[in-house]
Amino acid sequence: MPGEPEQPGGRADLAEVVRRAKAGEATPQDVFETFLHARVYCERPDEPGFLTVTASELPGTEGRAPQGSRILDLALVPDGTDATAAPGDATPAARLVPVFTSLEQFALFTGGGAWFSTTGADVLDLMPAGLDVWLDPAAEHAVRLASAATKSEPVLHVSYRPRGSAA
């Protein structure tokens, strides 16, 4: 496996901002902005897409879920619909994409294997609608970034100066 690439701003910055936010010392906006620029790692599937876990399978919910890729499956459905939901389920289970701040965090959750890296902004751009990010699931600072909260929309800022003012 190749060495971990260097990244401006450092991968520890994202984990540290999440820790600070959990302690009330940083805002969710700080987490979001740091995530956008951070280098993050994901498990690489055999086909294009993201590997996901169903939120109901998360540790701490009903029953104990195993860690790592054993509970992951490929989410290829473009609208984010859970293809594994039982017929008649009105609302499909929430799906999470495990995303890691470092290869060490990746290995703690997956046990190792094929990976790819990109920026947090690219992850959000490439992820199908309806999926949430589960950042560093094996860490004490694990956090879920809800897709509704990670939408970024273009904003137009208009400023003007009164007539007769100097430039």
What pLDDT does residue 67 have?
Answer: 41
φ, ψ of residue 6 to 5 degrees: the values are -75, 155
Contact 95, 45 (CB under 8 A): no
pLDDT digits (tens, 9 = 90+) for 79-111: 334 444 444 444 455 889 999 999 999 999 999
Bigger pLDDT: 121 or 71?
121
DSSP string, the chain: -PPPPP-TT-HHHHHHHHHHHHTTSS-HHHHHHHHHHSEEEEEPPSSSSEEEEEGGGSTTSSS-PPPGGGG-EEE--TT---TTSPTT-SSPPPEEEEEBSSHHHHHHHH-S--EEEEEHHHHHHHSPTTEEEEESTTSTT-EEE-GGGS------------TT---
Instruction: Please determine, for residue 68, whether its predicted confidence score (pLDDT) is greater than 50.
Output: no
Q: What is the mean pLDDT of residues 140-151?
A: 77
Listed by start position, the domains of the chain span 11-149
Predicted model pTM: 0.65
Q: What is the mean pLDDT of residues 147-162?
A: 67
What pLDDT does residue 12 have?
Answer: 43
What pLDDT does residue 74 have?
Answer: 37
φ, ψ of residue 17 to 5 degrees: the values are -65, -40
Q: What is the mean pLDDT of residues 129-146?
A: 89
d(CA 84, CA 115) in angstroms, rounded, equals 24
Instruction: Please determine, for residue 112, whether its predicted confidence score (pLDDT) is greater than 60.
Output: yes
